[in-house]
A and B are shown apart, each in its own frame.
Chain A
Amino acid sequence: MTEESTAQEQGAEERRIRVLIAKPGLDGHDRGAKVVARALRDAGMEVIYTGIRQTPQMIAEAALQEDVDVIGLSILSGAHLELFPRVIEALRERDIGPDEVLLFCGGIIPHEDGEAVRELGFRGVFGPGTDTRDIAAFIREQLPTLPARAG
């Protein structure tokens, strides 16, 4: 009881991590995206979920307006190597670089594409069967190491 109320008092003063969860492209299944969104909320983060069928421009603009710390993209259609670079480009147009916003992705991303996706700036690639606690831990661990945030 005491422990809980102390946690709440501290929670009120702690900086909340803001995460954008977005689904680029045309696939209409967002169960995975929603599971991740809820899990990150339960891990104490503020999660902005945009819904399905987002263009790269919409995702970048939402990230800008919401001033998020983290962007997670979920994709099942197989168009990740086509769409992810366009999201990165749309973010760059807004002066948002991978050095200040933590990027991760999930969904169906074949193992052999992992390297290409990482090279784009995605530090985390989470496939089906990922324990959602691992994603929360990844964010807490990686966020402070971004170059624009270090120190």
Chain B
Amino acid sequence: MARLAATPSAEELAAGIGRGDRRALARAITHVERDDALGRALLAALYPRTGHAHTIGVTGSGGVGKSTLVGRLAAEQRRRGRSVGIVAVDPSSPFSHGALLGDRIRMQDLTADPGVFLRSMASRGHLGGLAESASGVVDVLDAAGYDVVIVETVGAGQDEVEVASATQSTVLVTNPSAGDEIQSMKAGLMEVAQLLVVNKADLAGADSAVQQLLSLLVLAGSRAWEPPVLKVVARSGEGVAELVDRIDEHQRHVRDSEHAGAERRALVRAQLLSLATAALSRRALAEARRSSALDALVEEVAARRRDPRAAADALLAGLAPAAGG
């Protein structure tokens, strides 16, 4: 393994990744996460090499056992002879923008395995949005040749859910004690998940949680892929092999379905629009902050002479040409 240059070029990093150099891979992820010029050049170089990995999203509220489950999922994938990349997203502090990333604690056994690459990622401070940064990191791991790439996020906000739903197979994890939470999932998470898991299924209430999920699925109507509801005990590993079986089944469904091409295009379309939206709003915000009109409009709205929506329209009207160029 050649020593990494202090400031490696995109070509050097891409070549390193091609050789299986983990140091180059780690550095490449840093740049892609930062969305800097090198990161962008890397993604451009690496994207044609993507498409090999099966991508899996794992989401759910804090404390349902996602990290433990992801560790077990990865171990089961390894038993099946597949290499595994993991992107574990943890929330940043809204105050300091720092983050405490603790997913490695529950995945210690994986650290010694050369067939696993685990990267922790903080949820905030991404210029292009978390979902875009995370999908870039997934692309890098895919291009590096990992057979399976798992993305773990706390399903606490729209942004985090989008991250998981940008994968091919999204697993929603819940708990026997999460009855009210399951009720509140009606409008949202249920639609983005292809597999539903009741973790800690050795606790009382597991069967009723399964029933609740099944009845919500009935309400959602019939689809080409019916999301299975599975009971798992991540701590002991019970039910994990079956979960991987069903994930594999979903993967075959995605790849072999007559709609596979259309689904891929729908996913890409959503991603392009989301990237364009993020870029536009960044540009517009930067312009708006520089605009001399902003202070005057703030005064008008503060004094209630103008309503905020009309003021926002007025602000944008002044920026329109800049936003296009």
Contact = CB atoms under 8 A, between A and B. Distances in A.
Contacts of B23: 64, 94-96
Contact of B26 (A13, A42, A65): A65
Contact of A8 (B4, B97, B111, B127): B97
Contact of B98 (A46, A51, A55): A46
A37 interface: yes
A62 B119 CA distance: 9
10 shortest interchain CB distances as A-B pairs: A51-B105, A41-B98, A67-B26, A11-B97, A44-B98, A41-B100, A58-B111, A44-B96, A95-B3, A67-B30
Nearest to A150: B6
A47 interface: yes
Interface of B: 1-4, 6, 22-23, 26-27, 29-30, 34, 92-93, 95-102, 104-105, 108, 111-112, 117-120, 122, 124-127, 289
Contact of A49 (B26, B34, B100): B100
A73 to B, nearest CB: 15
A41 B99 contact: yes
Contacts of B95: 42
A79 B97 CA distance: 35
A61 B111 CA distance: 7
A137 interface: no
Contacts of B98: 16, 40-47
Contacts of A46: 92, 98-99, 101, 120, 122
Nearest to B117: A65
A86 to B, nearest CB: 15
B96 A48 contact: no
A24 to B, nearest CB: 13
Interface of A: 8-9, 11-16, 18, 37-38, 40-51, 54-55, 57-58, 61-62, 64-67, 94-96, 100, 148-149
Contacts of A45: 98
Contacts of A58: 108, 111-112
Contacts of B3: 95
A65 B119 contact: yes
A49 B99 contact: no
Given A41-B96, A49-B102, A51-B105, 6 more contacts: A16-B122, A42-B93, A48-B104, A50-B105, A61-B111, A65-B119
Contacts of B93: 41-42
Contacts of B124: 12
Contacts, number: 99
Given A64-B22, A65-B22, A66-B26, A50 B104 contact: yes
Contacts of B27: 67
A13 B127 CA distance: 7
A45 B100 CA distance: 8
B111 A95 contact: no
Nearest to B289: A9
A61 B119 CA distance: 11
Contacts of A8: 97
A16 to B, nearest CB: 6
Nearest to B97: A11
Which among B98, B104, B111, B118 has the greatest number of chain A C-beta atoms within 10 A? B98
B127 A95 contact: no
Contacts of A54: 108
A13 B282 CA distance: 12
Contacts of B22: 64-65, 94
A8 B100 CA distance: 18
Contacts of B122: 16, 46
A36 B122 CA distance: 18
B112 A95 contact: no
A33 B182 CA distance: 36
A100 B118 contact: no
Contacts of A148: 6
Contacts of B118: 65
A67 B101 CA distance: 13
Residue with the highest number of chain B CB atoms closer than 10 Å, among A48, A51, A62 = A48
A50 B118 CA distance: 12
18 contacts: A8-B97, A12-B126, A12-B127, A16-B98, A41-B98, A42-B96, A46-B92, A46-B98, A55-B112, A57-B112, A58-B111, A61-B111, A62-B104, A62-B111, A64-B23, A66-B120, A95-B3, A96-B23
Nearest to A47: B100
